[in-house]
Amino acid sequence: MTYYREERRPPEDVESLFECQMQSITGAGAMVRPHVHEYFEALYCLEGGFELNASGVIYPFFAGDMALIDPNEVHHTRAATPGNNRYLVIKFVPEALLYAERPVYEMKLLLPYLWSGGAHQKVFPKQALDQDGIGRLLMDIWREFGGRALGYEMAVRSGLCRLFLWVARTLHAESETQVNLDGAALMTLESAFAYIGRNFSQEISMEEVAAHCGMKYSAFSRFFAKYAQKSFPEYVTQVRLKEACILLATTGESITGISMAVGFSSTSYFIQCFRRMHGVAPGQFRRRFLAPL
C-alpha cells in the first residue's frame, strides 16, 4: 500500500528540523491533496479563509487564526473565500523542540501529540493569538527563517519552543486531568508506545509489551492505565484506527484489506470500532474526506 507521504529533507540539513513558506491562492479551491508527514504543521492565516480537513473533520479558520496539524495526521486544505487567500506554513519535527540528551520536560508536552490520535483543539482563534503575542511570534519565526542572519537556527528553534509551549498550556487549561511523568516513567511509556507503533498490524498482547518494558503484567497494566490514561486495548485500537484513516484517505485499498492491514481480526469489528470513534462507517469517512470541501 502506498499513500502520499511528504518526505523531510536529509537529516544532515539543519532545515530538516523546520521549514517556513507562504502559500496563497485567489478564489476558492484546493491547496493540497490528502497527505501525511512527520512534522507538526502550523498554518497561520493572513488573508481570506480556509477549511482544514484533518482526519475527516472540517475545521474552518480565517485571517488571524492558526491551525495546528499533528505529525502523521492525514489532512488537506482548501481556500474558502472568493478573494485572496494566504497563509504562513511553519513545519517542524518534534526533534526541533528537544535540547537535552534525555529531554524529560519537553517529552512530557510532546507525547500527547505524537501518540494520541489528534483528538484535541485544532484551530486557535485570532483573539487568543493576539492576546498572547503569538501572531507576532509566528511572523518573527518567518522573518528569522527568511533572513538567515547569524544564529537564525537558534532564533527559529527558540520561537518554535515558545509556540509549542503556548499551545500545550492552552490545551492543558482545558484538560481535566494531569499526569506527572518522571524520567523513568517517561522512558517506559515511550518504549511501550514505540513497540506498539512497530507491531500494531499484528496480534499484540499486553503481556509481550510488558515483557518488552521489563515489567510484570499486573504492574504494567496499572502503569499503562495511569500514564497513558486509557486501557491497553483502547490505545492499540486507537493506533490502528489512526493508520486506517490514512489508508482510507490516501489509497484505493478495500475496507477489508485495510482492516487486515492495520491488525483487526475481522472487517465487521473494524467497522464497529471505526464507527464508534468517528461517528461514521469507514466507507462514509473515505467519501467525506475525499469529497471537495
Domain count, the chain: 2
Do 26 and 149 lie in a common domain? yes
Query: Which is it for strands 40-47 and 66-69: parallel, antiparallel or unpaired?
Result: antiparallel
Which CATH number does the domain housing residue 269 bear? 1.10.10.60
Query: Taking a C-beta distance cutoff of 8 angstroms, is the pair 56, 245 a contact?
Result: yes
Do 156 and 207 lie in a common domain? no
Q: Which three cell numbers stand for residue 44?
A: 497561520
Query: Taking a C-beta distance cutoff of 8 angstroms, is the pair 177, 229 a contact?
Result: yes
Query: What pLDDT, on a 0 to 100 scale, did the predictor assign at position 103?
Result: 57
Query: What pLDDT, on a 0 to 100 scale, did the predictor assign at position 163?
Result: 95
3 within a domain of the structure (yes/no): no
State in Å, rounded, how far the first CA of the chain is from the last one.
25
pLDDT band for position 3 (cuts 50, 70, 90): very low
Overall average pLDDT of the 97-101 stretch: 69
Three-class SS state of 3: coil
Query: Taking a C-beta distance cutoff of 8 angstroms, is the pair 192, 209 a contact?
Result: yes
Share of the chain above pLDDT 70, in %: 84
Query: What pLDDT, on a 0 to 100 scale, did the predictor assign at position 229?
Result: 81
2 has pLDDT over 50:
no
6 within a domain of the structure (yes/no): no
pLDDT band for position 14 (cuts 50, 70, 90): low
Do 30 and 134 lie in a common domain? yes
Domain-ending residue, one of 126, 147, 173? 173
Which CATH number does the domain housing residue 158 bear? 2.60.120.280
Overall average pLDDT of the 98-104 stretch: 61
Do 132 and 257 lie in a common domain? no
8 within a domain of the structure (yes/no): no
For the entire predicted model, the pTM comes to 0.84
7 within a domain of the structure (yes/no): no
Do 140 and 269 lie in a common domain? no
pLDDT band for position 168 (cuts 50, 70, 90): confident
1 within a domain of the structure (yes/no): no
Give me the phi and psi of 156, to 5 degrees please.
-65, -45
Overall average pLDDT of the 116-126 stretch: 79
In this structure, how many other beta carbons lie within 10 angstroms of the beta carbon of residue 53?
Answer: 20
Domain-ending residue, one of 128, 151, 173? 173
Query: What pLDDT, on a 0 to 100 scale, did the predictor assign at position 105?
Result: 61
Share of the chain above pLDDT 90, in %: 57
Containing domain of residue 158, as a range? 14-173
Query: Taking a C-beta distance cutoff of 8 angstroms, is the pair 80, 86 a contact?
Result: no
Overall average pLDDT of the 62-66 stretch: 98
Name the amino acid, one letter, at 211: A
Report the range of poorest mean pLDDT among 85-89, 169-173, 196-200.
Answer: 169-173
Q: Tens of pLDDT along 177-226?
A: 556 667 788 889 889 988 998 999 999 999 999 999 999 999 999 999 88
Do 151 and 227 lie in a common domain? no
Do 105 and 205 lie in a common domain? no
Do 72 and 108 lie in a common domain? yes
Higher model confidence: residue 98 or residue 52? Answer: 52
Do 108 and 169 lie in a common domain? yes
Domain-ending residue, one of 173, 205, 226? 173
Three-class SS state of 56: coil
pLDDT band for position 240 (cuts 50, 70, 90): very high
SS3 of the chain: helix, strand, coil, percent, to 5: 50, 20, 30
Query: What pLDDT, on a 0 to 100 scale, did the predictor assign at position 155?
Result: 96
Overall average pLDDT of the 166-170 stretch: 90
199 within a domain of the structure (yes/no): yes
Do 210 and 162 lie in a common domain? no
Cell 507525547 -> residue? 111
> What is the dihedral sign for C-alpha 80, 81, 82, 85?
negative
pLDDT band for position 250 (cuts 50, 70, 90): confident
215 within a domain of the structure (yes/no): yes
229 within a domain of the structure (yes/no): yes
Three-class SS state of 143: helix
Do 165 and 227 lie in a common domain? no
Query: What pLDDT, on a 0 to 100 scale, did the predictor assign at position 187?
Result: 84
119 has pLDDT over 90:
no
Do 21 and 163 lie in a common domain? yes
